[in-house]
Amino acid sequence: MSNKECSMKLKTLLMGAIASAALAPAAFAERGSDGNVSIIYWQAPSILNPFLSGGTKDVESASLVIEPLARYDENGGMVPFLATEIPTVENGGVSADLTSITWKIAPGIKWSDGSAFTAHDVKFTADYCMHPEGGCAQLTKFEGVTSVEALDDMTVKVTFDKPTPFPYGPFVGGESPIIQKAQFENCMGAKAPECTTENFGPIGTGPFVVTEFKPNDVITMKANDNYRDPAKPAFATLTFKGGGDATAAGRAVMETGEFDYAWNLQLAPEVIQQMQAGGKGTPVAGFGPLVERIMLNQTNPSPALPEGERSTAKHPHPFLQDPAVYKAMSMAIDRPLLVEIGYGQAGKVTCNWVPAPAAVNSDTFTCDTQDIEGAKKLLDDAGIVDTNGDGVREKDGVPLKVVYQTSTNAVRQDFQALIKEWWAEIGIESELRNINASVFFGGDPGSPDTFQKFYADVEMYANTFNGTDPQSYLANGLCDKAPKPESQWQGENISRFCNEEYDALHAELTKTAGAEARAEIAKRLNDIMVENGGMIPLVHRGRLSAHSNTLGGVVLNVWDSELWNAADWYRIK
């Protein structure tokens, strides 16, 4: 069977799987009546505090335990979780001048230790993340916030420094949950990463409670006896296995039936099809804003620099800020081939950082045709040539040699090998590194191998954002969001990109009302980032995961944590 036929077959299977999930009957189980549920993420969680890690595997595993005031559902709509309703101007929750939002907490919610969940915990969470020495990985959610006040035990008010038409950054989505004040109040600022007990076992309001956490390995959980719905969760215990690879994870659900849910099956279409033939599980897929990209370090990562100055704004990169270089690197890439070998129907060519929702998908660039000769000419015209005949071009005497790192994964290593070859054709030499995903996405400030520390010239990974409004996500390009030693190497601006026009335009976005006007600004921000070499987008990826045929209630969500409704999962008898 050809790749095209395999891809079409996979698409048919996935559409059937999605339809089946939509028609699944509701569960009528008592709490804990369905035994154990097992989840496998081949990127193993290293911490259960998403404020100290931007890694998806950490955010999603933590979402089983700690929750936000509101989430995004499978359609991208906002739904209350710990709040009574979504505040709006119409219901009085958002002030008429758009400078504040007031949340009402649902009555009767308890932490898993039995204590009351209150507005004071919400305020504390803001203080924790906004602490100047804390290095919060989710700080963009609090962009423009001047104060968070607990008006009473059940009411919290967030005030912004100017009219904010989209005030749903703080406390919305899996990346911005609430942590318990009583547990974390001695973990503020620089002490935050030192609180191992708290970071590995947060007290939460979610359906499960951590019983044991082995970093980069296994998490065991049990049903939260104080969960707000007395009939949920249906499962008494939960096993969350991390590590291995996507192939083993897929087999464990669809072939052997050892696990109930496997996340992010970054595998070729024919491999997914072969696994599903095992008869134990079903793949589920959907497209959100997830993009595989190459980040270009705007700063110098050379180990010859003093520790604490590598990959910081003190030392600009010697050649990656040159438009001829980064544009040639992009032109040399055959994106349709990457899609074909890596994702099939679960991937699309993209030139954009933010390809979804459709309203914010820019049409400024085209990048669906590889142009090796054009890339060579661009470099030649810029005077970046091979002066000594070794096949490597030089800029101002510096050879175009890059360290190209990513996480360990079969598809990513295939991409690395091809891109290294294409870049070699235009005179750029690549040293390939792949790092265990648990380490790469772990956020440990002491590790030299995290994607935030970025001790390489270029690095490849994918990420996304919660919800359908990209304002907070686009804040990842702001100058002051670059990881640095002073922020415990946390920060969302991984490229260390800094552009005055970008910062000013994002400020305009934060005060712009109207969906169409906001979408136009978002597209311009996307274009500035790509045009000025912050990254090279490669593939708009679909989320592809799999669940056991005996696991009911699964609703794939590409706009929030995939585990967003784990409280509703149940065993099909």
Domains annotated for the chain, with CATH where assigned, are 33-65+206-286+543-572 (3.40.190.10), 67-191 (3.90.76.10), 291-366+399-541 (3.10.105.10)
What pLDDT is attached to residue 27? 42
Using omega within 30 degrees of 0 as the cis cutoff, is the peptide bond preceding 357 cis? yes
**Tens of pLDDT, residues 172-199:** 999 999 999 999 999 999 999 999 999 9
pLDDT above 70 covers what percent of the chain? Answer: 95
**Helical (H) or strand (E) element with 261:** strand 261-262
What pLDDT is attached to residue 1? 43
Q: Do 419 and 375 contact (CB within 8 A), yes or no?
A: no
What pLDDT is attached to residue 22? 38
Residue 29 pLDDT level (bands cut at 50, 70, 90): low
Residue 403 pLDDT level (bands cut at 50, 70, 90): very high
**Tens of pLDDT, residues 35-64:** 999 999 999 999 999 999 888 999 999 999
> Mean pLDDT in the chain?
93
**Tens of pLDDT, residues 210-268:** 999 999 999 999 999 999 999 999 999 999 999 999 999 999 999 999 999 999 998 87
Lowest mean pLDDT, pick from 23-27, 92-96, 290-294, 408-412: 23-27
**Tens of pLDDT, residues 554-568:** 999 999 999 999 999
Rounded CA separation 241/256 (Å): 15
What pLDDT is attached to residue 11? 44
Q: Do 98 and 92 contact (CB within 8 A), yes or no?
A: no
pLDDT above 90 covers what percent of the chain? Answer: 85
Q: What is the CA radius of gyration of the chain?
A: 23
Q: Say whether pLDDT at 165 is over 50.
A: yes
Q: Say whether pLDDT at 23 is over 50.
A: no
- How many other β-carbons are positioned within 10 Å of the β-carbon of residue 373? 12
418 by Cβ neighbours in 10 Å (0-12 / 13-18 / 19+) ranks as middle
Q: Say whether pLDDT at 3 is over 70.
A: no
Q: Say whether pLDDT at 7 is over 70.
A: no
Hey, is 536 helix, strand or coil? strand
Residues with Cβ within 8 Å of residue 431, at least 6 apart in sequence = 401, 402, 403, 404
Q: Do 309 and 494 contact (CB within 8 A), yes or no?
A: no
